[in-house]
């Protein structure tokens, strides 16, 4: 779904493009890993998230949202099976609230929910990952949202250019030497933004319903499953057309990372609040900032935008790599 945008970061650079695109990079991710064990884990999780746990298989991963009773998001999750347990990847800003909310009603079920700190999440990315995947004997199915077990742990295919590895920390030294290890996740975050993958920051927790961050467009909402926390609001947004916001990809020229939290739009000679920034990433090689912002879902792509701050930065809206009407 997202493969058409994932090479933008490479082709934008002013260095030797062919050489750069032939490299395969890795970075440690700051995302956290929640683990669900116990005989009731499937039914319990089913009632807590927007996704249908009956769809879970060992060779797939699934996007989902965890909502409060009003349908506002506590966290955005990527869920997968591994060694008979369920795991959820969520961001460093989301995981504490997510874990607390998951545990709140777990005392009434045979389920244990913990933060897994025995594994490290590794992002690997490049134009052609086949060399590293072959070295690790990782073979994905041809279906979307593919995942697979391999000798060091679990591999999750986000698209043709990006894979997440979930590896026991004691086995990190067994990763191929051909990987170029980066000391930060800035480039990884830029690619995630360009792919339109939602992630909440600490200021946006419990502020948006799932459709406002495009979760329906990446298969993260099941409208056919049974009840879950926040379902009434999520269903109302779909069937009554109540949602008026969506998440957009923004790009700006800048010599430094973004500090603003809000975006303004130009209306005549004046500027008015347009929306809230969720994530941003600064590319030092191109002096570009990429960002995700929630704004009105009828905003024109050519609308002039800027950050709400002293010495504002001007943004352009990039086309999303998926349709806002797609849904699971």
Q: Is the pLDDT of residue 14 over 50?
A: no
- 257 band by pLDDT with thresholds 50, 70 and 90: confident
Say if residue 237 is in the same domain as residue 294: yes
Distances in Å between the Cα of 13 and the Cα atoms of 50, 183, 256, 287 are 38, 19, 16, 10
Residue carrying the six token digits 């913990």: 114
In a domain, 109, yes or no: yes
Say if residue 189 is in the same domain as residue 206: no
Q: Is the pLDDT of residue 240 over 60?
A: yes
Say if residue 72 is in the same domain as residue 189: yes
In a domain, 1, yes or no: no
Percentage of the chain surpassing pLDDT 90? 82
In a domain, 80, yes or no: yes
Q: Is the pLDDT of residue 219 over 80?
A: yes
- 310 band by pLDDT with thresholds 50, 70 and 90: confident
pLDDT of residue 11: 45
Q: Which DSSP helix (H) or strand (E) runs through 60? A: none
**How far apart (Å, rounded) are the C-alpha atoms in residues 124 and 224?**
34
Which class for 165: exposed (0-12), middle (13-18), buried (19 or more C-beta within 10 A)? buried
Say if residue 27 is in the same domain as residue 84: yes
- Give the chain's count of helices (H) and strands (E): 7, 17
In a domain, 207, yes or no: yes
User: Domain range spanning residue 59?
Assistant: 8-194
**Strands 112-115, 85-90: pairing kind:** unpaired
pLDDT of residue 144: 87
Say if residue 48 is in the same domain as residue 183: yes
What pairs with residue 81 in β-bridges? 86
Residue among 119, 163, 174 at smallest CA distance from 140: 163
* Mean pLDDT in residue range 99-117: 96
What pairs with residue 251 in β-bridges? 290, 316
Q: Is the pLDDT of residue 188 over 70?
A: yes
Say if residue 15 is in the same domain as residue 119: yes
**How far apart (Å, rounded) are the C-alpha atoms in residues 28 and 177?**
15
pLDDT of residue 327: 61
pLDDT of residue 38: 97
Say if residue 112 is in the same domain as residue 251: no
Which class for 276: exposed (0-12), middle (13-18), buried (19 or more C-beta within 10 A)? buried
Say if residue 61 is in the same domain as residue 90: yes
* Mean pLDDT in residue range 26-50: 97
In this predicted structure, which of 18-32, 229-243, 267-281 has the lowest mean pLDDT?
A: 18-32
Say if residue 121 is in the same domain as residue 207: no
In a domain, 2, yes or no: no
Q: Is the pLDDT of residue 2 over 50?
A: no
Q: In what order do the strands lie in the sheet with 25-28?
A: 147-150, 153-159, 162-168, 119-125, 25-28, 180-181
In a domain, 163, yes or no: yes
**Strands 73-82, 85-90: pairing kind:** antiparallel
* Mean pLDDT in residue range 126-153: 95
- 34 band by pLDDT with thresholds 50, 70 and 90: very high
Say if residue 72 is in the same domain as residue 211: no
pLDDT of residue 309: 84
Q: Is the pLDDT of residue 18 over 80?
A: no
* Mean pLDDT in residue range 248-265: 92
Q: Which of 171, 194, 217 is the last residue of a domain?
A: 194
Q: Which of 143, 163, 194 is the last residue of a domain?
A: 194
* Mean pLDDT in residue range 186-211: 96
Say if residue 13 is in the same domain as residue 121: yes
């Amino acid at each position: 779904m997202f493969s058409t945008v994932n090479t933008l970061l490479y082709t934008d650079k002013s260095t030797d493009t062919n050489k750069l695109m032939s490299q395969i990079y890795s970075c440690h991710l700051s995302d956290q890993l929640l683990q669900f064990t116990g005989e009731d884990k499937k039914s319990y999780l089913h009632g807590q998230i927007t996704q249908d746990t009956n769809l879970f298989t060992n060779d797939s991963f699934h996007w989902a949202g965890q909502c409060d009773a009003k349908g506002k998001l506590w966290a955005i999750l990527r869920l997968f099976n591994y060694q008979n347990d369920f795991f959820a990847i969520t961001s460093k800003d989301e995981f504490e609230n997510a874990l607390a909310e998951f545990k709140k009603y777990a005392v009434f079920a045979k389920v244990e929910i913990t933060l897994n700190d025995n594994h490290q999440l590794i992002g690997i990315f490049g134009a052609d990952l086949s060399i590293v995947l072959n070295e690790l004997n990782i073979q994905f199915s041809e279906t979307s949202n593919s995942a697979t077990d391999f000798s060091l742990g679990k591999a999750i295919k986000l698209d043709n250019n990006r894979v997440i590895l979930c590896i026991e920390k004691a086995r990190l030294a067994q990763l191929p030497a051909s990987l170029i290890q980066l000391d930060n996740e800035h480039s990884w975050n830029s690619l995630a933004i360009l792919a339109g993958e939602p992630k909440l920051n600490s200021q946006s927790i419990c502020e948006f319903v799932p459709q406002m961050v495009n979760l329906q467009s990446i298969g993260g909402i099941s409208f056919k499953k049974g009840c879950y926390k926040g379902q009434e609001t999520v269903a109302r947004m779909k069937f009554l057309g109540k949602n008026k916001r969506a998440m957009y990809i923004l790009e700006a020229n800048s010599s430094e990372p973004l500090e603003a939290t809000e975006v303004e739009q130009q209306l005549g000679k004046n500027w008015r609040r347009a929306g809230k920034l969720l994530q941003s990433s600064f590319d030092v090689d191109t002096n570009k900032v990429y960002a995700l912002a929630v704004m009105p879902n009828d905003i024109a792509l050519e609308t002039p935008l800027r950050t709400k701050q002293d010495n504002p930065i001007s943004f352009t809206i990039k086309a999303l790599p998926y349709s806002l009407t797609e849904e699971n």
